[in-house]
Amino acid sequence: MEMTTSDTDDVPEQKAKNEIDKEVDPGHIISEIKNLLVEHKDPSNKLQEYIDHVEKKIDIVNKNELNNIDKEEVKKLIEKHPYFKNPNSYSIRLITIMKYLKKKNVNVSLLDIDLLVEKIILSIDGVVKEGYGKYSRKK
Alpha helix stretches (DSSP H) within 89-134:
94-103, 113-122
pTM exceeds cut of 0.85? no
Rounded Cα distance, 116 and 112, in Å = 7
The Cα 118–Cα 97 span in angstroms is 10
Q: How far is the CA of 84 from the CAs of 9, 71, 114, in angstroms?
A: 47, 17, 18
pLDDT at 19: 61
pLDDT confidence of residue 120: 94
Q: What does the pLDDT look like over 28-79, one tens digit per residue?
A: 777 777 777 778 777 778 788 888 888 888 888 778 888 888 899 999 999 9
pLDDT of residue 28: 77
Q: Are 129 and 135 in contact (CB under 8 A)?
A: yes
Tell me the C-alpha distance between 109 and 75, whole Å. 18
Q: pLDDT band at residue 86, thresholds of 50, 70 and 90?
A: confident
pLDDT of residue 43: 74
15 within 8 A of 21, measured Cβ to Cβ: no
Helix or strand run (H / E) with residue 92:
strand 92-93
Phi and psi at 133, nearest 5°, equal: 75, 20
